[in-house]
Amino acid sequence: MNTVHLSIELPQDAFSALRQEPVVFVQEMRLAAAVKWYEVGRISQAKAAEIAGISRAEFLAALARYAVTPFQYQSADELIGEVVDG
């Protein structure tokens, strides 16, 4: 897997406000971004798990913690089509 190193600046008190060490903060930030991008339909579960640096099963568990559905359907018709067409 090719990777890119990104650097961002955050206020020092951001870590203490969340009571997290910088390493944990970065892991949580990656997960939160992946969950949100999945929630709005920009990426797949597999890609979201990759971005978060976790397995797909762990990503599904994270979706539950964030109260985000693991299903990506835009409309009731789309859901019905999926069930009918199997």
Give the pLDDT confidence of 39-64 residue by residue, as tens digits.
999 999 999 999 999 999 999 999 99
CB atoms within 10 A of CB 48: 25
Tell whether 6 is covered by a domain. no
* Residue 3 domain flag: no
- Which domain, by its residues, includes 63? 13-85
**This prediction's pTM:** 0.78
Query: Residue 66: CB partners within 8 Å, gap ≥ 6?
Result: 32, 35, 39
Tell me, yes or no, whether 81 lies in a domain. Answer: yes
Q: What is the pLDDT of residue 14?
A: 78
Give the whole-angstrom CA distance, residue 19 versus residue 52.
Answer: 20
Residue 72 in any domain: the answer is yes
Give the model's pLDDT for residue 79.
62
How far is residue 10's CA from residue 46's CA, in Å, rounded to a whole number? 29
Amino acid at 34: A
Is the CB of residue 48 less than 8 Å from the CB of residue 38? Answer: yes
Domains in the chain: how many in total?
1
